[in-house]
Amino acid sequence: MSDFVLITGGARSGKSRFAELLAAHPGLPVTYIATAQVYDEEMALRVKKHQDQRPAHWGLVEEPLALSSVLERHAQNKGVLLVDCVTLWLTNLLLAHYPAEDHLTEQEYTRALHRLEQKILEQVRIVARIARDITPQVIMVTNEVGDGIVPDNPLSRIYRDLAGRANQILGQSAQQVYSVVAGYPTEIKAAGQALLDSLRREDA
């Protein structure tokens, strides 16, 4: 069974740097699974910065969509798989299958968005199960995209909700969940689970 770790936080919180330190700590082979797709110069610079800060001897797999397949291919590896990041993967899935609004009524469009969200969340559940069950340690980096204003368009709103629900699914499967704020990580699952358990006992 994998020691599955989920690391979340806001933009520029230091979560990727913490994930890289955590991945390197055991001294085992590390495979970096990059989900980013480069569409413009700004994204290319972001990718280059990540490449420069991680060790050159780490393995690299670039996969924007089929994350479950990558995890399964490495299921027997004795090492660490570092996925950075979950929310880019969700973005890729959402944009790859986003329904065109042309020729759809508002009701049809809403139903299509709901079906798409459910399909993506099912992929998240599959990834969560694989990450929990395979041999290598799996570390995933994600983002808290809902800590801001309510987006003003349907695509952004569904993405915000999708990311929040996906994080909950992954957090439930992970052995450890860290929140990174201002560069400092805090393990939140153990304390949070203890609180939930105590509240449920009181309600019983």
* 179 labelled ligand-binding: no
Cβ neighbour number for residue 64 with a 10 Å cutoff:
16
pLDDT digits (tens, 9 = 90+) for 104-149: 888 888 889 899 999 999 999 999 999 999 999 999 999 999 877 7
Give the per-residue pLDDT at 156.
86
Alpha carbon distances (Å) from 137 to 2, 18, 80, 147, 203: 5, 15, 5, 29, 36
pLDDT digits (tens, 9 = 90+) for 148-187: 777 888 888 889 999 999 999 999 999 999 999 999 999 9
Alpha carbon distances (Å) from 203 to 41, 190, 193, 199: 54, 20, 15, 6
* 198 labelled ligand-binding: no
- Residues 25, 50, 57, 103: which is the catalytic one? 50
* 105 labelled ligand-binding: no
Distance of alpha carbon 194 from alpha carbon 34, whole angstroms: 33
Domains of the chain: 5-203 (3.40.50.300)
Amino acid at 31: T
Q: Is 74 a catalytic residue?
A: no
What mean pLDDT is reported for the chain? 91
Q: Name the pTM for this structure.
A: 0.91
* 69 labelled ligand-binding: no
Distance of alpha carbon 116 from alpha carbon 53, whole angstroms: 35
Report yes or no: 45 and 36 within 8 Å, Cβ to Cβ. no
* 62 labelled ligand-binding: yes
Burial of 90 (0-12, 13-18, 19+ CB in 10 A): buried
Length of the chain: 204
